[in-house]
Amino acid sequence: MATLKDVAAECGLTVTTVSRVLNNRGYISDETRAKVFAAMEKLNYTPNEVARSLSKKATNTIGVIVPHIRHPYFAEMISNIENAASKKGYKIILYNTKGRDNKEKVYLDMCTSNRVAGIILFSASIAVQEFTDSKIPLVTVERYVENGTAAVECDNKQGGELAAQHLIDQGCKRLLNVSGVTENSMPADDRTLGFEEVCKKNGIYYKVIETNIGQYNSLDYHELLEGALELDDEIDGVFASSDLIASQVLQVCSKLGKRVPEDVKLVGFDDVMISQITNPPISTIHQPIKEMASAAVDMVVAASEGKTVPKRTLLPVTLVKREST
């Protein structure tokens, strides 16, 4: 079994330098880090995380808590977080609450007991308030809590504005917005706010239908969408608060004999893979998922090292035009 000394000899560095890379202490160049990881892979060397955690206050592990792993947005975000963490010598522990708010507190406690360097949290429940006394950095994504270390968000209001204006520019006269879950107040609610402001400014008729936690947990919006489009047969533009919902709008329109984009034009939100593989591909608001994931990891690492991080980071979004409009 390879040892730390073997890794050091393989990459031509001192044991101290290799140890600094593994523990992410001090400045380490990307070249040096790459050499160490390459040697570790070649020798099949695995650090003893238990021993390391006993010698320091935290492991090089980041806890990531999400409400869904099936949702395309969270799947892509998790992948980008893991990649960003790996580049900094960190691993992630993934927790999936599956819509059960009581699990959030359990997972926060598990992160504490596992001595994680920090936590990246995606959720809407209030259980996080019980985490106030913890000294572990808590970075939230698309959620803001007063007792958190930092929050990373996209400009949701800008996204709603871009979506509404694009539909209006494409000639739509009666717009429908399928909003987020009403039971919880989240930054994503600003998508509807931006949408409404543009519609009012342009004197355009619009309607907002709200989704509920049951639909969010099941990821099934077909019944809601079918009811809304049957109730108002003259809707000619739809802004869905996620690409997942937008893809189901396509299915419902097909069922009702409505053509996209000829009869109904459609804009989603997120710009995940599903928006590119539907027929037609979906125009959407691009959320900078890769940049948000990287920022969240950077803040966890910096905060765990005692550095000051910005309380709130807001990243811009852009409109991606595809065949659905």
**Higher-confidence position of 30 and 281:** 281
The length of the chain in residues reads 325
| Ranges in the chain annotated CATH 1.10.260.40 | 4-47
CATH domain 4-47 topology = 434 Repressor (Amino-terminal Domain) (1.10.260)
Average of pLDDT values for 265-276?
97
Say if residue 84 is exposed, middle or buried (CB neighbours under 10 Å; 0-12, 13-18, 19+).
buried
**Chain segment 195-234, per-residue pLDDT in tens:** 999 999 999 999 999 998 889 888 999 999 999 999 999 9
CB-based contacts of 283, cutoff 8 Å, min separation 6: 166, 265, 266, 267, 268, 319, 320, 321, 322, 323, 324, 325
Q: With bands split at pLDDT 50, 70 and 90, how would you rate the model's confidence at 4?
A: confident
CATH number of 156-287: 3.40.50.2300
Residue 281 has pLDDT above 90, yes or no: yes
The proportion of the chain whose per-residue pLDDT surpasses 70, expressed as a percent, equals 87
| Ranges in the chain annotated CATH 3.40.50.2300 | 58-154+289-316, 156-287
- DSSP helix/strand/coil, 174: strand
Average of pLDDT values for 137-164?
88
Residue 258 has pLDDT above 50, yes or no: yes
**Higher-confidence position of 50 and 314:** 314
**Chain segment 61-117, per-residue pLDDT in tens:** 999 988 888 899 999 999 999 999 999 989 999 888 876 656 666 777 777 777 788
CB-based contacts of 236, cutoff 8 Å, min separation 6: 171, 172, 173, 174, 175, 263, 264, 265
pLDDT at residue 20, rounded to an integer: 80
> Is the whole-model pTM more than 0.85?
no
Per residue, the 3-state secondary structure of 179-228, as one string, reads EEECCCCCHHHHHHHHHHHHHHHHCCEEEEEEECHHHHHHCCCHHHHHHH
- CATH match for 58-154+289-316 among 3.30.930.10, 3.40.50.720, 3.20.20.80, 3.40.50.2300: 3.40.50.2300
Average of pLDDT values for 5-10?
88
Q: With bands split at pLDDT 50, 70 and 90, how would you rate the model's confidence at 54?
A: very low
Strands 318-320 and 283-286: antiparallel
> Using DSSP, how many helices (H) and how many strands (E) does the chain show?
13, 12
Q: Where are the alpha helices (DSSP H) in 12-153?
A: 15-23, 30-43, 49-55, 72-87, 101-113
